[in-house]
Structure 1
Amino acid sequence: MSRLSVLSAASKVAGRGSITDLHEISMSPWIKQVCLVLAAVFMLSSTTESKKDEALYCSACMAIAEEMNYSVSQTDPKKTIHVGGFRLKPDGSLMDKKVPLARSETYLNELLEEVCNSMSDYALYEDPDTKEKSYKRFAPRGNDGVNFPDFKNFKFDGPESSSALKFACESIVEELEDDIISLFSSEADHVAKTLCSEVSGHCKSSVFQHSEL
């Protein structure tokens, strides 16, 4: 039924009434539908958030911080990059500012584009003492010390496990890209704790409040 038909029918039933009244009669069902849709979206969003695996998302966030820290540490500290573009100073001279390459926004963006590919080097790890589970790097780097997690405590659940961690990583990077770059460019202390506990909230549970943060 068209809106004009609804208005006509409403007019006949009411016998009288202003145009505003008729609009209210015809629009009420639409308003109710919109409210129902918004309520459904809100409930779905809340349910999705509540179903997030904290061990998975906290581990992904920690892995991002670890991989970024490692990449930055492996970059020659003597390398610099010009920033500021072609902006002029008040005296008319060209603004020329150099910053360490490893802390530049351009370089950090490049690292972020690749960081989630490193999630294939992580697997589910069960602490032999506490039985707590988290994802840790199982593939040691050349300069990793003797404190690397014992390989026998890793649980390899196939490619699905690594895909889930990569998806969580990509979700965090997409959502918090600016925050991640800001933390690393400013050489903030305790980046992992700030990013994963305070900014993202993925490591809020007491289970994950360990010294590694």
Structure 2
Amino acid sequence: MMENSQRVFSLFVILSLLHVHCQGARQTQDMKCGACRALVDEMEWEISQVDPKKMIQTGSFRINPDGSQSIREVPLARSEGHLLEMMEGICEKMKEYGERVDPSSSRTTYTRISSRDGKAMDLSNGALDSRVTAQLKFACETIVEQYEDELIEFFAHETENVKDKLCSKRTDLCDHALKMPHDEL
């Protein structure tokens, strides 16, 4: 009889630990997904702030044997150099994000809590926590480090639904099945 109760107790402990582990994995996945989506928002906003008429010359300034040069003009906002410069400080913007838990799905999302233009924002169901923003910043920095080439590739060209294409399809940082709203700038 005592042996059965020990088995039940052991099974209960194992299931409890498994539940805690799965919950932690879900929080980690939500954090990575949230950081990716916030990173995309910030990159798109920064790009939108650059005058679209500003161009930069790229390529080689050396003279080819035929007398030509391999120079081309590209919009400054989407040039590799500008994108790399933006990525150096983009994760600092994560301090402007807060955590929200969706009451229906219990999924955690991360939303901007500080307006770019000074207008009031809806902060209901949101929480600002320095621990969370530090984790979000770290997740952002990890994404920039691991996926630098993909970020350059996506942002060098105007692409629709970058969040879905980059965060879900290319990097698997977000669940494919997770239906996140398509945010606007």
Question: TM (normalized to structure 2)?
Answer: 0.78
Equivalent of 1:97, from 54, 72, 76?
A: 72
Q: Which residue is 2:134 aligned to?
A: 163
What is the aligned partner in structure 2 of residue 212 from structure 1? 182
Comparing both structures, which one devotes a greater share of its residues to helix?
1
Separation of aligned partners in 1, 2:40 and 2:150: 12
Mapping of 1:20-59 within 5 angstroms?
51=25, 53-59=28-34
Structure 1 residues 205 and 186, CA gap change in structure 2 (3 angstroms): closer
- Identical aligned residues as a percent: 38
Tell me how far 1:88 sits from its aligned partner: 3.7
| Residue in 2 that maps onto 1:14 | none
Q: In structure 2, what is the Cα distance between the partners aligned to 1:108 and 1:195?
A: 16
Cα RMSD for the two superposed structures: 2.3
Q: Would you say 1:82 and 2:57 are equivalent positions?
A: yes
One-letter amino acid matched to 1:173: V
Write the deviation string for residues 123-155 of structure 1: whole angstroms up to 9, x where unpaired: 1013356553211111012187x8x5x212112
Q: Which one is further off, 127-136 or 111-120?
A: 127-136
Partners of 2:161 and 2:182 within 8 A in 1:
no
Q: What amino acid is the match of 2:161?
A: H
Cα displacement string for residues 5-29 of structure 1 (whole angstroms, at most 9, x for unaligned residues): xxxxxxxxxxxxxxxxxxxxxxxxx
Gaps of 5+ in 2: 1-20
Checking the alignment, whether the CA contact within 8 Å between 1:203 and 1:209 is kept in structure 2 is no
Instruction: For CA contacts below 8 A with separation 6 or more, give which structure has more relative contact order.
Output: 2
The structure having more radius of gyration, on CA atoms, is 1
Cα distance in 1, alignment partners of residues 54 and 172 from structure 2: 34
The whole-number CA distance in structure 2 between the counterparts of 1:70 and 1:141 is: 10
User: Greater strand share, 1 or 2?
Assistant: 2
**What do the CA deviations read for 1:109-132 (whole angstroms, capped 9, x no partner)?**
001001100000001013356553
CA distance in 2, matches of 1:80, 1:103: 9
- Rate the CA distance shift 1:105–1:177 in 2: closer, same or farther, 3 A: same
How many angstroms does 1:91 deviate by? 2.5
Alignment of 1:112-127 (within 5 A): 112-127=87-102
Find 1:153's aligned residue among 109, 125, 129: 125
Amino acid at match of 2:47: V
Equivalent position of 1:70 in the other structure: 45
